[in-house]
Amino acid sequence: MTSKLFYLALAGGAGTIARYVLGEFVSRFSSGSFPWATLVINALGCLVFGFVWSLGEQNAWLSPQQRLIILVGFLGAFTTFSTFAFETALLAKDFQWTFVFGNLLFQNVSGLAFAFLGILMARSVQAF
């Protein structure tokens, strides 16, 4: 149990750093009020989650422990649902309704689409 917690914490730290670095990178290329960095991070997190989950379900490429560490540890820290909710609330507070509804739509639709794409990608890798 102790080693599992250690690896979860290590993966969580890596996910946090990856989120910060990617968020800073995306923010350099975006402007305006729309939270593009959060959208990119969440979409990528959903893609990786679908890919890793599918690999673990379909074959033994990843052990249950490895999958737990990646999905709960790394991706739990990497994805940013709380940031998404907070940024959407700030947009609503400022009455930026187009961005509020755009963010709700894009985050949810892209999250589902990228998770499904990750599953399809893992299945195509398994075909080889």
At residue 62 the predicted structure's pLDDT band, cuts being 50, 70 and 90, is confident
Coil, strand or helix at 59: coil
Strands (E), 18-76: none
- Reported in sequence order, the residue ranges of the chain that DSSP labels E, i.e. its strands, are none
**Chain segment 14-30, per-residue pLDDT in tens:** 999 999 999 999 999 99
Element (H, E) at 109: helix 97-126
The answer to whether the predicted template modeling score (pTM) of the entire model surpasses 0.85 is no
Token digits of residue 32: 């305006």
Mean pLDDT of 56-64: 78
List the structure tokens of 13: 């730290």
The answer for residues whose C-beta is within 8 angstroms of residue 68's C-beta and 6 or more apart is 4, 8
| Sign for the pseudo-dihedral over CA of 59, 64, 65, 66 | positive
> How confident is the model over 84-99, as pLDDT tens digits?
898 999 999 999 999 9
Cα–Cα distance between 37 and 87 in angstroms, integer? 11
Res 116 pLDDT > 90: yes
